[in-house]
């Protein structure tokens, strides 16, 4: 094997880079883990992604890319399980991780935790494995509780344990300024230990296609005004507000009469065919569209794999996403990379990625009438759309590529390495016990935060 710059363990219990995207628990975090590991490998690191085994046919180790292995750890039954059901299995996840490391005799320079559950494993093991824990949350429990208390199925331990991770991780990655603020205000994070590293887009894959060609390939009519939503179909993504805005455009603005016929394409769900049984939110949206008299204008495609998505974005006149909250939000960046303007709610990462008035328009969440007005503003102005689309592509190329994300992350790893060489403690919460032998670990003498 060629000499590598360092070895990174990326811990991600529920989000595997190998998963099919678009379903309830497979979205942005999977893309992050896949793209970051791929680009870190291109920067010279050897990356092992540790994730939970979800199928009997999954081999323990998959050599996924040059420099990237995906390691499936046995934690609970080898079946897909909802991520909120995984917490009781995390003790097994940690034990399986240690067993794997012990068998291989491998050492890591950094333990990079994703989400709170794997993050806890990373901070818990950092001093025993003599490697600092870097944490990226992807989503925070306090944000979820604030915005959707009635849908919060997270274990009650989540927020206290997130605090523990914030206190003990060597470094926290915030993906946007809003997340940084939340880490400081809700979790008491030390601002000195937070670095801002936004996620990115694969700008080779997400490229603009000529709109007519994209529509031809997808079998869509050329003369329609087309709005596209791509993403998971969850209540918090609030596609319901988009359907209501479509109703306003049809009934109040005269789309289909004074203006061209309108269509909203909704891409995402658990299956490749739109199935309300498998994706209950599809059923709710279909019912809403019927009630509002716009069922014929709202089309569900089911989920699609990334290779096809540039066609969907490029076919659109406008891409839309109006979640109640959004920790970062990859889909608007993907639309921007395809040179399409985005109308997005002014929340979380979207206020950072979408430049209001320049690459798209921001609206308050849960405001269908305002959303309809902004959509109309763009649908009726082809030149403005084109200018915004071009500006959007430029913005992504300059600021939001995965290569940049990986370079920044690599710089963070190097800083931590230098701090360690210089004698600075990596684990803010640890004592002088740094390295312990793998045998000791396996003998179960690990001091832990775990409840088992």
Binding site for ligand UDP (CB under 6 A): 21-22, 27-28, 31, 230-232, 267-268, 303-306, 309, 328-331, 334
Helix (H) or strand (E) holding 103: helix 90-104
Q: How far is the CB of 310 from ligand UDP (least distance, A)?
A: 10
Find the distance separating the first CA and the last CA of the chain, reported in whole Å.
39
DSSP 75: -
What minimum distance in Å lies between the beta carbon of 163 and ligand UDP?
23
d(CA 281, CA 303): 13
Least distance to ligand UDP, CB of residue 321, Å:
7
CB of 381 to ligand UDP, least distance (A): 26
Q: Which CB, 126 or 353, lies closer to ligand UDP?
A: 353
Which single residue brings its beta carbon nearest to ligand UDP?
Answer: 27
| Nearer CB in complex with ligand UDP: 108/209 | 209
Instruction: Report the side by side order of strands in the sheet with 194-196.
Output: 61-65, 68-73, 45-52, 6-11, 110-114, 133-136, 171-174, 194-196
Looking at the Cβ atoms of 29 and 126, the one nearer to ligand UDP is 29
Structure tokens at 213: 């060609």
CA–CA dist 194, 192 (Å, integer)? 6
Q: What is the DSSP string of 336-384?
A: HHTT--EEEES-TTHHHHS-BTTTEEEE-TT-HHHHHHHHHHHHT-HHH
- Count CB neighbours of 3 within 10 A: 6
Residue of 225, 222, 221, 314 whose CA lies nearest to 267:
314
Closer to ligand UDP by Cβ: residue 172 or 342: 342
Query: Quick count: other Cβ atoms within 10 Å of Cβ 163?
Result: 17
Nearer to ligand UDP, 21 or 410 (CB): 21
Closer of 165 and 234 to ligand UDP (Cβ):
234
Under 8 Å between Cβ of 341 and 389: yes
Nearest distance, CB of residue 269 and ligand UDP, angstroms: 7
- CA–CA separation, 271 vs 133, rounded Å? 36
Cβ distance to ligand UDP smaller for residue 19 or 169: 19
The number of angstroms, rounded, from the C-alpha of 122 to the middle of its chain's C-alpha atoms is 19
CB of 294 to ligand UDP, least distance (A): 22
Residue whose CB is less far from ligand UDP, 146 or 251: 146
| Cβ 435 to ligand UDP shortest distance, Å | 36
Nearer to ligand UDP, 305 or 415 (CB): 305
Distance, in Å, from the CA atom of 238 to the CA atom of 285, rounded to the nearest integer, reads 10
Give the shortest CB-240-to-ligand UDP separation in angstroms.
16
**Torsion from C-alpha of 422, 425, 426, 432, nearest 10 degrees:** 130
Q: Residues 248-268, buried b or exposed e (16+ Cβ, 10 A)? A: bbbeebebbeeebebbbbbbb
**Residue 261, token pair as written in the block:** 């016929």
The smaller minimum CB distance to ligand UDP, of residues 117 and 248, is found at 117
Q: What is the DSSP letter of 451?
A: -
Residues paired with residue 195 on neighbouring β-strands, in sequence order:
173
Smallest gap from residue 96 Cβ to ligand UDP (A): 26
Conformation bin of residue 256: beta by default, left when phi > 0, alpha when psi is -120 to 50 = left
Please, what is the minimum distance in Å from the beta carbon of residue 417 to ligand UDP? 30
Q: Minimum CB separation from ligand UDP for residue 437, in Å?
A: 39
The C-alpha atoms of residue 429 and residue 86 are separated, in whole angstroms, by 26
Smaller CB separation from ligand UDP, 97 or 316: 316
């Amino acid at each position: 094997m060629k000499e590598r710059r360092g070895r990174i363990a990326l811990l991600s219990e529920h989000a595997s880079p190998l998963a099919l995207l678009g379903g309830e628990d497979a979205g942005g975090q999977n893309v992050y883990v896949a793209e970051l590991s791929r680009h870190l490998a291109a920067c010279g690191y050897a990356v092992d992604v540790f994730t939970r085994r979800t199928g009997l046919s999954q081999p323990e180790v998959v050599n996924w890319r040059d420099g990237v292995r995906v390691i499936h750890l046995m934690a609970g039954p080898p079946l897909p399980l909802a991520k909120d059901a995984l917490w009781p299995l995390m003790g097994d996840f940690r034990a399986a991780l240690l067993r794997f490391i012990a068998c291989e005799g491998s050492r890591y320079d950094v333990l990079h935790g994703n989400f709170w559950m794997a993050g806890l494993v990373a901070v818990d093991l950092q001093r025993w494995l003599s490697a600092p824990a870097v944490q990226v949350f992807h989503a925070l429990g306090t944000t979820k509780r604030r915005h959707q208390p009635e849908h919060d199925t997270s274990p009650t331990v989540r927020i206290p344990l997130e605090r523990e991770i914030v206190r003990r991780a060597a470094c926290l990655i915030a993906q946007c300024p809003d997340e940084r603020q939340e880490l400081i205000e809700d979790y008491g994070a030390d601002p000195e230990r937070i670095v801002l590293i936004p996620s990115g887009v694969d700008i080779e894959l997400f490229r603009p296609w000529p709109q007519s060609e994209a529509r031809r390939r997808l079998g869509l009519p050329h003369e329609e005004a087309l709005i596209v939503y791509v993403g998971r179909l969850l209540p918090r993504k609030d596609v319901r507000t988009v359907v209501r805005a479509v109703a306003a455009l049809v009934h109040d603005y005269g789309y289909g009469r004074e203006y061209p016929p309108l269509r909203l394409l909704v891409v995402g769900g658990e299956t490749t065919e739109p199935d309300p049984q498998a994706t209950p939110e599809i059923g709710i949206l279909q019912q809403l569209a019927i009630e509002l008299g716009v069922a014929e204008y709202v089309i569900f495609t089911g989920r699609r794999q990334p290779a096809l998505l540039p066609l969907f974005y490029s076919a659109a006149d406008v891409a839309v996403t109006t979640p109640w909250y959004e920790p970062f939000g990859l889909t608007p960046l993907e639309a921007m990379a395809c040179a399409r303007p985005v109308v997005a709610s002014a929340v979380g990462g979207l206020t950072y990625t979408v430049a209001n008035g320049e690459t798209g328009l921001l609206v308050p969440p849960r405001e269908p009438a305002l959303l309809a007005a902004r959509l109309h503003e763009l649908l009726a102005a082809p030149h403005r759309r084109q200018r915004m689309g071009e500006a959007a592509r430029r913005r992504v190329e300059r600021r939001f590529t995965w290569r940049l994300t990986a370079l920044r992350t690599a710089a963070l790893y190097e800083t931590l390495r230098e701090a360690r060489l210089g004698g600075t403690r990596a684990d803010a919460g640890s004592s002088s016990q740094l390295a312990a032998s793998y045998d000791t670990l396996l003998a179960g003498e690990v001091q832990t935060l775990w409840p088992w």
